[in-house]
Structure 1
Amino acid sequence: MGAYYTKEDITGYIAKNTIIPYLFDAAEKKCAIAFQPTSALWQLLRDDSDRYIYEPVRTGVDLPLPEEIARGIGDVSRRGGWNRPAAPVFALPTETWREHVSRRQRCLEVREKLQAGEVHQINDLITYNLDMRQFAEDVISTCEGPELLRAFWQAIKSVTVLDPTCGSGAFLFAALNILEPLYEACLDRMQAFVDDLDRSGERHRPEKFRDFRRTLAEVERHPNRRYFILKSIIVNNLYGVDIMEEAVEICKLRLFLNLVAQVDRVKDLEPLPDIDFNIRPGNTLVGFVSLEEIRRAAERDAAGQGRLIYGEIDEAIRRIEEDAEIVERALIWVGQRHMTSGAGATSPSIGSQSSMASCGVVDLM
């Protein structure tokens, strides 16, 4: 059996253009005022438009065109040299003058739209192929109010990325590479808010920025910040399924090695998180994906006609719902234990019965 590994540019492109728009949409629901067309958030695009246009797109566009090429822009009959390779200072690899002029016009058009403030939806950055990763990092790093930062932090912490055919983890690692700098930007901005408040000496309520301080204190309980970030992403954000058990084990091993590589001293290495909940072997082409699908299937016969649920069917649905609730509680408990346990803490897999009972997950152990 062969294996195909999707190239990083493809996985990165797909991950970027799905995860980041979701985060912006989720943050907008929590802090809608920050996403108004005239807000400081979109002002970033107007103030420094070239920062978000990829460098290859901008290559040579600000240089004056040679006369023999420029005269063909307004006169089709004078484009005799447009099919020749463009001069290196203007061109991308293998690019002709015709291709350069087309790219040049597109770049100038996009730049004009950005500077005019016509781009104020996150999906527009996909349409115009702009550097969405850089924009997301800048939005978080420069956010003026704590509410916008909280909105992004909650969105980043809670987003779940599922690859139903994860293999050895190509798309999951692409998602990790997207999320890591966003976690970093959030933590940096939290620290800046806390430091500014402490330096100001102003009188304030004790609970001001308490959530930021709590998060930063949690980071300190780990070997280093990058370890905390990677652990958070692996435990809370990444999920995968693959029909090949060997591929699943390789995927988990790659994630573990990436985490362990952040620790310099053996004594700082804490028990590795149990991600059997996150990365699992299975066949995603069969079975049900939600409780609602199970209920609908039980309510209908092969012809699609409705029928009453009673007796054995009713009892089976009840057991499935109970089991699903237990698994959900267990998953929440495991995630919380992983993130609150510091180096040398008890592994969640061998936690005390009393602590698990409080979460209703004793039946799974």
Structure 2
Amino acid sequence: MTALLERRLTRTTVRSRLEALDQGTLVIGLIVAMLILGGLTTQGFLTTGNLSVVLRFSAAIGVVAIAQAFVVLGRGVDLSVGAMALVAGQVTLELMSRGWSELAAVGAALGVALILGLVNGFLVAVVGVPALLATLGTGQLLLGGIKVGLLQSNLYSVAPDAFLRRLGMGSVLGIPTAVFCLLVVIALSWFCWSYTSFGRLIRAIGDNPDTAWQMGGPMRRVQIGSYLIAALLSAFAGFLIMAREGSVTTTGAAFSPLLFAALTAVVIGGVSLSGGRGSLLGVAAGTIFISLIVNLLTLNSLSPALQDLANALTLVVAIVLDAWLHPRDEETAKSGDL
């Protein structure tokens, strides 16, 4: 009996110590280990050119991960972010092919994002539809509706002289343009989370929704706002992908690798699915870690099926880690939902 109690106390102590750390710090350690492993096992992995590719690849994932983090921090989830990223590119290039100016086409795509964010927020915050089901449905509806009602081609290419193309090329202050855009998004999000009432209310809702309600916080407006931000950031990520790839197809799905990569980066970076906890350092570190995994698998010429298996396993491990560090019964007790 004493030995069993000691083992339980040991597990509790280990968990409490890990929980007290910024999970981003732990992920940075994993990144270092991944760099060492990749350097020892894969030729060309640690070259400047390859690491530059990793950073450019991580830009879109990072923006979508931050979009997801805004929602997850308030105890939500948005499965429509991948669809929105794809649709942003489709709408922009389709309208440009019809003679719209680039600025007007981008504005229309952002308008679609605003509508999606409002619909998601309304369904979750006002109607009370579970976020998982609401965003699952809206993402599929968005992709199908745009494809049936607007698109007239299976493949759209970005004009070489388009401004959007420059997002995937060149540099700003010596930093690749796409990476610079990610850094700007991180800085603005950090300011929002740390120094605005909106950011504090998101954390309050995620940590203890009953208390936030009793304090008179505009919970519904904050939740709707988080889905609006998620949709707009996802559209911006779509522009980054379009700039990097130089084209957009109509064959993408709502459950794209981008969605899974971003969600994995959020969870493994320490943004708890129970809400109220997380840091942008963790999200950024999680993004780099996921990008390194994808790059390492690609350099080793693993089949798409094995890559999907590895990515799925990473997501499962991240969810299990989150569940261990933040048990559901403890989080439920804190919120009063017994």
**1 or 2, which has the higher helix percentage?**
2
Computing the radius of gyration from Cα coordinates, the structure with the larger value is 1
Q: Which has the higher contact order (CA 8 A, sep 6+)?
A: 2
TM-score, normalised to structure 2's length? 0.25
